[in-house]
């Protein structure tokens, strides 16, 4: 991805230099540097995700004040997350939104399970594995969208704006 984005950036700038592009601000493309994570953090919760989960907790607290306007007690509330950094951080941010920064430190989370039968129940479902997970037909709607006139028109418009003589593809 790191190399691919740099190549694509160079192509876009080159197309502009040849007068083939309709870009308004090529300087932004020239000065841009990709910040692709190459440290296996692609499944980590982003800063935006943290803000969203915090705000979601706050909104729910405001929406249900009689239910959520109390201190955390293990007997009253139960939180779980799957065995990933993203879901753990999501749970922490949500708890902070509901209980506030100080009280959120009191929230107890049980140890996560790799194959949690509650949160990832579908993994134990043979029907799901056959009809979704291992089924190429599960991508039927995506394929229909990619064959639609709207999608093709959008790809053609972006390709022309960037100065390409052929339409870009998902690969490039």
18 domain residue, yes or no: yes
Residue 156 and residue 163: Cα distance in Å, rounded? Answer: 11
Half-sphere exposure of 107 (CA within 13 A, CB side): 24
Same domain, 38 and 52: no
What residue numbers bound the domain in which 92 lies? 45-113
Same domain, 15 and 38: yes
Q: How confident is the model at residue 100 (pLDDT cuts 50, 70, 90)?
A: very high
At residue 159, the pLDDT reads 92
Same domain, 49 and 62: yes
Mean pLDDT of 80-97: 92
CB 45 within 8 A of CB 85: yes
Residue 90 and residue 68: Cα distance in Å, rounded? Answer: 18
Same domain, 74 and 16: no
Report how many domains make up the chain.
2
Q: Last residue of a domain, which of 75, 95, 113? A: 113
Structure tokens at 31: 């000065």
Q: Last residue of a domain, which of 113, 142, 165? A: 113
Same domain, 72 and 53: yes
At residue 74, the pLDDT reads 84
87 domain residue, yes or no: yes
* Position 27 pLDDT exceeds 70: yes
At residue 48, the pLDDT reads 93
Half-sphere exposure of 97 (CA within 13 A, CB side): 22
Same domain, 33 and 87: no
Q: Last residue of a domain, which of 62, 91, 113? A: 113
68 domain residue, yes or no: yes
Q: How confident is the model at residue 165 (pLDDT cuts 50, 70, 90)?
A: confident
Same domain, 88 and 49: yes
pLDDT tens digits along 38-67: 556 667 888 999 999 999 999 999 999 988
Same domain, 24 and 67: no
Percent of the chain predicted with pLDDT > 70 = 94
Same domain, 104 and 49: yes
């Amino acid at each position: 991805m790191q190399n691919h984005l740099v190549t694509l950036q160079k192509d876009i700038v080159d197309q502009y230099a040849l007068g083939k592009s309709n870009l308004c601000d090529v300087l932004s493309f020239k000065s841009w540097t990709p910040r692709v994570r190459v440290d296996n953090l692609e499944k980590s919760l982003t800063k935006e995700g943290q803000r969203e989960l915090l705000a979601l907790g706050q909104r729910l607290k405001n929406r249900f004040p009689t239910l959520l306007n109390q201190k955390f007690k293990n007997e009253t509330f139960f939180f779980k997350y799957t065995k990933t950094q993203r879901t753990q951080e999501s749970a922490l941010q949500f708890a902070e939104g509901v209980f506030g920064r100080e009280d959120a430190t009191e929230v107890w989370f049980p140890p996560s399970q790799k194959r949690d039968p509650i949160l990832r129940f579908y993994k134990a479902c043979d029907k799901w594995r056959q009809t979704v997970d291992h089924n190429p037909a599960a991508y039927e709607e995506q394929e229909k969208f990619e064959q639609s006139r709207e999608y093709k028109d959008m790809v053609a418009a972006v390709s022309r704006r960037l100065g390409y003589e052929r339409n870009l593809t998902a690969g490039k």
